[in-house]
């Protein structure tokens, strides 16, 4: 399944880009997470939440073709 993935903050830095198109097997957010962690080992040690089509979701959220996924890290600074 083809997905558009966006990265923010430390996640974008760890991955080295702000967005990309990915071809992913599986159809849940959890599976995307495993896929991304295998592709980018640094993700294992970072905190983030997923949004799908600009809505915050949990891991069991089902995905469909061309969904837009965003990885949102918490920010500490003030």
Partner 1 sequence: MTQKLTDKEKYRYSRHLLLDKVGEVGQEKLKTAKVLVIGAGGLGCPVLQYLTAVGVGTIGIIDFDVVDETNLQRQILFTINDIGKNKAIVAKERLEQLNPFVKFEVYPEKLTPKNALAIFKHYDIVVDGTDNFSTRYLVNDACVIAGKPLVYGAIYKFEGQVSVFNFKGGPTYRCLFPEPPKAGSVPNCSDVGVIGVLPGLIGTQQANEVLKIILEIGAPLSGKLLIVDALQSSSISIKINRSEEQVEKVLASATNFENNDYELFCGVKKTHHDNEISAEELKELIKVQNIQIIDVREEWEQPKVDELNMINIPLQTISMNLDKIDKLQIKVIVCQHGVRSLRAIDYLQQNGFENLINLTGGIVTWK
Interface ranges with partner 1 (CB under 8 A)? 6, 8-10, 34, 37-38, 41, 44-47, 49, 51, 54-56, 70, 72-78
Task: Give min distance, CB of 21 to partner 1, in A.
Answer: 17
**Length of the chain, please?**
78
SS3 11: helix
Residue 45 to residues 11, 18, 55, 65, 78, Cα–Cα distance (Å): 10, 18, 24, 28, 23
Q: Residue 3's beta-bridge partner residues? A: 22
Q: Please identify, using beta-carbon distances, which residue of 1 and 33 lies nearer to partner 1.
A: 33
Task: Give min distance, CB of 51 to partner 1, in A.
Answer: 5
Task: Give min distance, CB of 20 to partner 1, in A.
Answer: 16
């Amino acid at each position: 399944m083809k997905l558009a993935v966006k990265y923010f903050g430390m996640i974008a830095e760890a991955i080295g880009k702000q967005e990309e198109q990915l071809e992913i097997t599986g159809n849940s957010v959890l599976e995307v997470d495993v896929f991304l962690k295998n592709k980018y080992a640094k993700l294992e040690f970072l905190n983030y939440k997923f949004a799908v089509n600009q809505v915050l979701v949990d891991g069991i959220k089902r995905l469909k073709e061309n969904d837009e996924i965003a990885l949102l890290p918490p920010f500490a600074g003030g």
